[in-house]
Amino acid sequence: MKVGIVGAGMVGSSAGYALAVMGLASSVVLVDQNHDLAVAQAEDIAHAVPFLSSTIVEAADYVGLAGASVIILAAGVSQKPGESRLALLERNAAVFKDVVGNVLAVAPDAILLIASNPVDIMTQITQRISGLPANRVIGSGTILDTARFRSLLGRHLGISPQSVHAYVLGEHGDSEVLAWSNAKVGSLSLADIAAQVGSPITEHVRATIDDGVRNAAYKIIKGKGATYYGIGAGLARIIKAIAQDQHDVLTVSCVTPEIVGVKDVALSIPRVVGAQGIETDLMPDLVSAERDGLEKSARLLKDSVESIRL
């Protein structure tokens, strides 16, 4: 499978590296308006390949994306310390108008995988600009927030995150909702497993995990200026589900006809991902506070999208 990446900055190149490590793609093509950067990133990743896989990694112009099955859109301007994701909106919308047109001209059948923030809004903008079916325009959404939630819960319980089934829903951002009420470990409810392993989920534990998930990106940005390894691996994970037609349940973003009463909005819920892109949406059972939180998140995103003139 050929994978294209537009935007060879920290996120795009980390995704390229993760794809090479996982050996998922036969070819990875990096495109950036700064062509020298794309060439340098491709060379650097290509030098790692002999130790890892046989993926061909190269830089190209847009024409090099022809034949790609999936194209990651990671172009744009990155979040500055203290800057909200929504504040990035205007700047990145303009970049995407340019990028999506160029991509579609050479690869009209590719699945588009959006990584640029604010990701839910960029996903909805991309779907609008491209006119592609919504299930072929996928945002990385809360895939990373969900991974952080599972990892913190798993650490508290002394259980591998891979055995934790818990989801972060809604916006990839401040209004996201940690769905505590339906979190499971193995087949057990959280209360059950916590009692059995002797690690109760107290209010303090809950607040600490909630803060750890919600503020992880802000803390990393404060310390090193940007986040990229986690999302790079998350993007490769989504591509694995597509490349291997795995029908995995992942929290990704996509324009959805209706979520908790809000129509036509892109946000994350668990969705089945396979070769065709998003194949099915799965709406979890929520308690009323979570449902209200999700509705608030959906309305906030919808209002932001409606305020943009394209």
Tell me how far, at minimum, the Cβ of 98 lies from ligand ADP, in Å: 5
What is the closest distance, in whole angstroms, from the C-beta atom of residue 178 to ligand ADP in the complex? 24
Residues found near ligand ADP in the complex (CB under 6 A): 6-12, 32-34, 37, 74-76, 78, 95, 98-99, 226, 228
> Quick one: which of 209, 203, 214, 220 has its CA closest to 169?
214
Characterize the bridge pairing of strands 248-259 and 262-274.
antiparallel
Identity of the residue, 15 or 190, whose beta carbon is nearer to ligand ADP in the bound complex: 15
Q: Is 42 helix (H, G, I), strand (E, B) or coil?
A: helix
Active-site position among 35, 47, 165, 172: 172
Let me know if 156 is a catalytic residue: no
**Shortest Cβ distance from residue 39 to ligand ADP (Å)?**
12
Q: Which is nearer to ligand ADP, 13 or 304 (CB)?
A: 13
* Alpha-carbon separation of residue 154 from 39, 185, 190 (angstroms): 40, 9, 11
Smallest separation (angstroms) from ligand ADP to the CB of 37: 5
CA distance to 203, 238, 293, per residue, from 108 (Å): 50, 20, 36
Nearest Cα to Cα of residue 230 among 107, 125, 143: 143
AA letter at 111: I
* Structure tokens belonging to residue 144: 């990373």
- Residue nearer to ligand ADP on the CB measure, 74 or 177: 74
At closest approach, how far in Å is the CB of 96 from ligand ADP?
8
Beta-carbon contacts of residue 93 (< 8 Å; ≥ 6 apart): 121, 122, 125, 308, 310
Kindly tell me which of 3 and 179 has the beta carbon lying closer to ligand ADP: 3
Q: C-beta of 172: minimal distance to ligand ADP in Å?
A: 13
- Within 13 Å, how many C-alpha atoms sit on residue 20's CB side? 27
Helices 10-22 and 35-48, axial angle in degrees (round to 10) = 30
Q: Residue 60: which residues within 8 A CB-CB, separation 6 or more? A: 29, 30, 31, 38
Between 44 and 98, whose beta carbon lies closer to ligand ADP? 98
The residue at minimum Cβ distance from ligand ADP is 9
Token pair of 39 as six digits: 């060439």
Closer CB to ligand ADP, 87 or 191, in the complex? 87
Say how far apart CA 190 and CA 164 lie, in whole Å: 9
Strands 27-31 and 2-6: parallel
User: How is residue 196 written in tokens?
Assistant: 């059995």
Alpha-carbon span 303 to 202, nearest angstrom: 35
**Active site members:** 172
